[in-house]
Structure 1
Amino acid sequence: MDLEIWKEFVQQNWLVIIVALILLFIVINVLKTVLKWAIVLVIVAALIIYSGVSLDQIKDVVTDVSSSTMETVKTEAQELMENEAKQATYVLHEDETFTITSPNVEVTGEQGKDKVKVSLRGVSVGEWSIHNAAVKQYMETAQN
């Protein structure tokens, strides 16, 4: 979002912004219930919609943040796999599934399948290919 767009919006709509701020101040100070926060959300949403910020732009920002967060988590999981591979234990279950665990990483999968489920500190990081370098090294070190 461009700062110039916001400056222009404020210059053109300063009266609407002041009225909205006064309404917010009155609502927050007078009402003492959950209804207060519902009204605050409605006023803020109305200002955002009125400002021209589209839901698509908000969605794009949320998508960008979630994508970068997942990439950071995946990178951390790969680094932990490399660091904890020697501490990992490999358990083969009777149903041809296996579990590899270390202090922070858990990998579960099925013999002969290309995908394994990776969890970092109990939180799923998704399904990864066994051909991923970090996963492959983790599995080989744990099996040995």
Structure 2
Amino acid sequence: MNTQVWSDFIQQNWLIIVIALIVLFVVLNLVKTMVKWVLVIIIVVAVLVYSGVSLDKIKNVVNDVTTETVDTVKTEATNVMMKEAKEAKYTSDAAGNFTITSPNLEMKGQKGNDKVEVSLRGVSLGQWKINDTVKSFISEAKNNSNVSPGK
């Protein structure tokens, strides 16, 4: 969120914020039950709604953060894939399923599919399309495990 927007909001609505903080302080000190937390949440939501922060804006911020986080983790996984390619081990079964493991990465797929399931340090990163980086990782893992590329 833009700090300038918050700064302007605080300058324009400082009195309401002070009143809300006083009410919160009184509620926290006088009310000793679960109702206290309901009142606190209502007051905070009221101040946020009054400030013009909508649920759509909050949703957009959460989506942006999620997208950035996923992209960062995928980039890290790709870097790990390139660094650990020489340590990767390829195993396959008769059905065409294969698993590639390295110290921090695990990849599962099936021969003929254009997607693989990728996990980084035990955390699933979902299905990835097989791109050049993934292809070279698979090829290097096959070479490390002495598996012919046709299998």
Deviates more, 1:83-92 or 1:29-38: 29-38
Unaligned runs of 5+ in 2: 144-151
Q: Deviations over 1:62-121 (max 9, x none)?
A: 111111111110000000000111111111023321110111111001110000011111
Q: 1:100-139 maps to which residues of 2 (within 5 A)?
A: 100-130=100-130, 132-139=131-138
- Matched with 2:14 is 14
Separation of aligned partners in 2, 1:133 and 1:31: 61
1:141 aligns with 2:140: yes
Shift, 1:124, TM fit: 1.2
Alignment partner of 1:124: what SS?
Answer: strand
**Following TM superposition, where does structure 1 have runs of at least 4 consecutive aligned residues deviating by more than 6 angstroms?**
none
Shift of 1:42: 1.7
**Equivalent residue for 2:147?**
none
Residue 45, structure 1, aligned to residue 57, structure 2: no
Give the distance between the partners of 2:120 and 2:33, measured in 1 at CA. Answer: 39
2:53 equivalent to 1:23? no
Matches within 5 A, 1:77-116: 77-116=77-116
1:39 maps to amino acid: L
CA apart distance, 1:48: 0.4
Secondary structure in structure 1 of the residue aligned to 2:119: strand
3-12 vs 79-88, greater mean Cα deviation: 3-12
Which secondary structure state, in structure 2, belongs to the residue aligned with residue 95 of structure 1? Answer: coil
1:38-77 correspondence to structure 2 within 5 Å: 38-77=38-77
Change beyond 3 A, Cα 1:36–1:71: same
Residue 136 of structure 1 and its aligned partner are, at CA, apart by 1.1
- Aligned letter for 2:18? I
Change (3 A) 1:10 1:67: same
Deviations 1:111-140 (A, max 9, x none): 10000011111111121111x222111100
